[in-house]
Amino acid sequence: MLINLASSLNAEQCKAASIIEGPVLIIAGAGSGKTRMICYRIAHMLQSGIDQKQILALTFTNKAAAEMAGRVRELTGRQLPDLVTSTFHAFGMRVLKKHCHMLGFRQNFTIYDSADRVSLLREVMLEEELDPQAYDLDGMLQLFSDIKTERSPWPSDSPSHARMLYDAYREHMRLYNAFDFDDLLMLPLDLFTRYPTILDEYRKQYSHIMVDEFQDTSLEQYRLVKLLAQESRNLCVVGDDDQSIYSWRGANYQNIMLFEQDFSERVEIKLERNYRSTGTILEAANKLILNNTQRKEKSLWTESGSGGRIIMLNPQDEEDEVDTVIRLMRQLSFEHQIGWDSFGILVRTNHLIPLVENKFMLENIPCAVSGGQSFFERKEVKDTVAYLRVLANPDDDIAFLRIVNTPRRGIGRTTLQSLRSVAEKHHCSLYSALGIIIAPDSKHSPKQIQTLKILYELLQTYREALFSAGRRKSAVLKSLMEEIGYRHHIAQEHIGNEQAAIWRYKSVETFVTLFSRWERDEDNRSNSVFDYLQRLSLTSRDRQEDEAEEKKVSLMTMHASKGLEFDTVFLIGIEDHIVPHVRTLEENPDALEEERRLFYVAITRARKLLHISSCSHRKRNRELVASIPSRFLSEIPTDLFEESKEDRVLEASETFAAFEALRKKLAQKESS
């Protein structure tokens, strides 16, 4: 299929998509159609004779990577099985699967998520005779992450044993043949630095590299793509410094400046035409962000007209705030015949969400909370996955510890301590220690041996069955969960609540079904259980359970709203101690510009209507105290605002038109 860039893109997009040789910096403003441009650029590369195997497109979520690949396939009319559109972590995993043996790891590695890391650190502390409850485990793991990624040196006030725990944590990861998410970036960097031949292999393979959301890359991610593109110089980065809002997780918006230094011959292109929001919304965003000094000059514009003014809400308190939002949503829904999914409600912090969610529940308004517990985070699903992980990699101690007494099988603290002692003595995993304890020459108690032997034989039997099952591994897993009596185990946890037990076991059955679909997918070439588990670990960070088709109001933090858009947006809690966030400024006075960028991102999520709410009073520490509007509101021209005119009386013609539209809609549903 022949691609015509000039007829498909605007002038700036066309220029950005046309230049496929040499370094390119594309500053893409909010709603400027950057994803469309990126897909056309890749299609243009393919049409120009660049082999799909030579293209590497990196982004930040698996969903975005899959969408990108799908759109390129549609544009070109080709299957493109060897085109790599990937997250940074998935690319790192790809490198490690091929070369991790060079670093002393085996290819059947496990990827530890946040919960696994906490469990491992707790285990390490117990081995060192430290009480995990006396420490901030999340804080210590964040310190470990900062040290491993070289974001910061060891702080002078770190606990004396922190370095010892860090070394022990890393040693256990190696022993268990496991990686965490930092490893998926740092170990490929280590490989490329220590083994120039491996780096040269990837440089030759990927002659053209693209990075989306470049403003959100960390320093180590930039180092990775810089290494890969240093010789070819064919590196295109797409980002917007005005939307850099993730410094707290390692993002470094100054990577744009580093790119300019390292690739001084770059071509720079700005995409400023906005296809999402009205002129009024864009003017508010432009005026707001002008107050930041560390930014590239740009101004968003649109041809879609100015639209209505921004509606300012001044409720008495947070209860009145949510009631006001509900009334306005119902009014807009009725007048314009729009569904609940047209509305997005954004807040600065998670603590503002429960009140809104609870009110919506009481008012029977369907609501989806972004960042709520995903399907794969449910306890029963994590238990099932842990069994699969142990069958695939018996040396995975974190998974082993999760399943060893789930359901209860008489393995008490003394037996677990024996397992740990043997594992430490022989420098082996707990599963290997189990094999040592039940050996014919074992001196352990007959009761311990008998209990552990039953577990060992169970896992060995199903491990052998799993690896000889071909594309019926899901049937093996289903049989295992039935044999261990997991349904009864759940029922015992919910005595008197049969429905809860049924619902939870249905999650196990759903997971088995998902696993079955994966292994029977014709596009799944390797059908390796390791591939599935590794992919599951990667996608668990950004995958959300597929909801029912019911249209719902989206409720989320401003951070979670990045990349989304809604016809009507409500920004609530826009008060000076919340936006900008007082604690963030206390911890880092230089964070004011990022707080302003965050508010800019929130504003530019709105397509047609924007409501901003600032309460007169709000509860703090259970006391109702006076609030003042956010200082950022004073940076937006007052003529762009109007006071809310909620609950106005409709004209007779408007009422008739609304009812007529509703009647037609219901008639269509009945006929279908």
Selection from 99-103, 293-297, 527-531, 647-651 with the highest mean pLDDT: 99-103
How far apart (Å, rounded) are the C-alpha atoms in residues 649 and 642?
18
Mean pLDDT check: name the lowest of 125-134, 461-470, 525-534. Answer: 525-534
Q: CA-based Rg of the chain, rounded to a whole angstrom?
A: 28
How far apart (Å, rounded) are the C-alpha atoms in residues 224 and 235?
12
Judged against a pLDDT cut of 90, whether residue 475 lies above it is answered with yes
Sole residue written with tokens 């070109």 = 76
The CATH number of 376-543, from 3.40.1230.10, 3.30.2350.10, 1.10.3720.10, 1.10.486.10, is: 1.10.486.10
Mean pLDDT check: name the lowest of 52-61, 64-73, 158-167. Answer: 158-167
Could you say which architecture CATH assigns to the domain 301-366+550-643?
3-Layer(aba) Sandwich (3.40)
Which pair of structure tokens corresponds to residue 298?
């740009």
When pLDDT is averaged across residues 399-428 and rounded to a whole number, the result is 91
When pLDDT is averaged across residues 130-159 and rounded to a whole number, the result is 88
Prior bond to 188 cis, omega within 30? no
**What does CATH list as the number for 110-176?**
1.10.10
How far apart (Å, rounded) are the C-alpha atoms in residues 343 and 340?
6
Judged against a pLDDT cut of 70, whether residue 547 lies above it is answered with no
Close Cβ partners of 488 (under 8 Å, ≥ 6 residues apart): 407
Residues catalogued as catalytic: 34-35, 212-213, 243, 605
Residue 45 pLDDT: 97
Mean pLDDT of the residues in the chain: 89
- The region, left, alpha or beta by phi > 0 then psi within -120 to 50, assigned to residue 250 is left
Which pair of structure tokens corresponds to residue 87?
């997250």
Give, to the nearest 10 degrees, the angle between helix 219-229 and helix 88-99.
60
The H-assigned helical ranges of 230-364 are 255-262, 279-289, 318-336, 353-362
Sign, CA torsion 98/101/103/104: positive
How far apart (Å, rounded) are the C-alpha atoms in residues 197 and 192?
8
When pLDDT is averaged across residues 216-245 and rounded to a whole number, the result is 96
Say whether 301-366+550-643 and 5-96+184-271 share the same fold: yes
Judged against a pLDDT cut of 60, whether residue 421 lies above it is answered with yes
DSSP string for 119-163 = HHHHHHHHHTT--GGGS-HHHHHHHHHHHHTTSS---TTS-TTHH
When pLDDT is averaged across residues 260-273 and rounded to a whole number, the result is 97
Sole residue written with tokens 């998509």 = 17
Judged against a pLDDT cut of 60, whether residue 648 lies above it is answered with no
The residues pairing with 268 across neighbouring beta strands, listed in sequence order, are 25
**Residue 547, exposed/middle/buried by CB under 10 A (0-12, 13-18, 19+)?**
exposed
pLDDT-derived band at 152 (thresholds 50, 70, 90) equals confident
Residue 369 pLDDT: 83
Give pLDDT tens digits for 426-457.
Answer: 999 999 999 999 999 888 889 889 999 999 99
Sole residue written with tokens 């911890």 = 587
Mean pLDDT check: name the lowest of 169-183, 399-413, 441-455, 492-506. Answer: 492-506
Nearest to 563 by CA among 14, 27, 42, 35: 35
Residue 358 pLDDT: 81
Give pLDDT tens digits for 556-613.
Answer: 999 999 989 999 999 999 999 999 999 889 888 779 999 999 999 999 999 999 999 9
> How many degrees, rounded to 5, is the angle at CA 517 between CA 513 and CA 520?
135
Judged against a pLDDT cut of 80, whether residue 459 lies above it is answered with yes
Identity of the amino acid at 172: H
Q: What is the 3-state secondary structure (H, E, C) of 533-594?
A: HHHHHHHCCCCCCCCCCCCCEEEEECHHHCCCCEEEEEECCCECCCCCCHHHHHHCHHHHHH
How far apart (Å, rounded) are the C-alpha atoms in residues 147 and 183?
12
CA dihedral angle for residue 387, residue 390, residue 396, residue 398, rounded to 10 degrees: 20
Close Cβ partners of 346 (under 8 Å, ≥ 6 residues apart): 556, 557, 558, 561, 569, 570, 571, 572, 602, 605
Residues 281 and 310 sit within 8 Å (Cβ to Cβ): yes
290 or 656, greater pLDDT: 290
3-state SS, residue 301 = strand
Judged against a pLDDT cut of 60, whether residue 374 lies above it is answered with no
Give pLDDT tens digits for 349-364.
Answer: 988 888 888 888 778 8
CA distances to 37, 42, 76, 89 from 71, rounded to whole Å, are 11, 10, 9, 22
CB atoms within 10 A of CB 65: 20
Please provide the size of the chain in residues. 672
Residue 373 pLDDT: 52
43 or 672, greater pLDDT: 43
Residue 199 pLDDT: 98
What does the domain layout of the chain look like in residue ranges? Answer: 5-96+184-271, 110-176, 301-366+550-643, 376-543
How far apart (Å, rounded) are the C-alpha atoms in residues 474 and 387?
12
Prior bond to 580 cis, omega within 30? yes
> How many degrees, rounded to 5, is the angle at CA 379 between CA 377 and CA 382?
65
Mean pLDDT check: name the lowest of 44-58, 368-382, 549-563, 613-627. Answer: 368-382
Residues 293 and 313 sit within 8 Å (Cβ to Cβ): no
Close Cβ partners of 303 (under 8 Å, ≥ 6 residues apart): 273
Selection from 115-124, 268-277, 290-299 with the highest mean pLDDT: 268-277
pLDDT-derived band at 371 (thresholds 50, 70, 90) equals low
How far apart (Å, rounded) are the C-alpha atoms in residues 466 and 185?
31
Which pair of structure tokens corresponds to residue 47?
């049409």
Close Cβ partners of 524 (under 8 Å, ≥ 6 residues apart): 518
Judged against a pLDDT cut of 50, whether residue 650 lies above it is answered with no
**5-96+184-271 placed in CATH 3.40.109.10:** no
The H-assigned helical ranges of 395-527 are 397-403, 413-426, 430-437, 446-466, 473-483, 486-493, 498-520
Give pLDDT tens digits for 497-514.
Answer: 787 788 889 889 988 988
Strands 235-239 and 566-571, bridge-based pairing: unpaired
When pLDDT is averaged across residues 177-189 and rounded to a whole number, the result is 96
pLDDT-derived band at 542 (thresholds 50, 70, 90) equals very low
Nearest to 482 by CA among 460, 455, 509: 509
Judged against a pLDDT cut of 50, whether residue 649 lies above it is answered with no
Residue 71 pLDDT: 96
3-state SS, residue 522 = coil
Judged against a pLDDT cut of 80, whether residue 541 lies above it is answered with no
DSSP state of 445: -
Judged against a pLDDT cut of 80, whether residue 463 lies above it is answered with yes
Judged against a pLDDT cut of 80, whether residue 216 lies above it is answered with yes
Which pair of structure tokens corresponds to residue 96?
């490690």
Q: Tell me the percentage of the chain whose pLDDT exceeds 70.
A: 92
| Exposure of 470 in the CB half-sphere (CA atoms within 13 A) | 1
In the chain, the N- to C-terminal Cα span, in Å, equals: 36
3-state SS, residue 271 = strand
The H-assigned helical ranges of 239-342 are 255-262, 279-289, 318-336
Judged against a pLDDT cut of 90, whether residue 249 lies above it is answered with no
Mean pLDDT check: name the lowest of 321-330, 470-479, 561-570, 649-658. Answer: 649-658
3-state SS, residue 208 = strand
Which pair of structure tokens corresponds to residue 150?
């070289």
pTM value? 0.80
How far apart (Å, rounded) are the C-alpha atoms in residues 201 and 53?
13
Sole residue written with tokens 């039935």 = 482
When pLDDT is averaged across residues 98-120 and rounded to a whole number, the result is 92
How far apart (Å, rounded) are the C-alpha atoms in residues 380 and 394?
20
Judged against a pLDDT cut of 80, whether residue 665 lies above it is answered with no
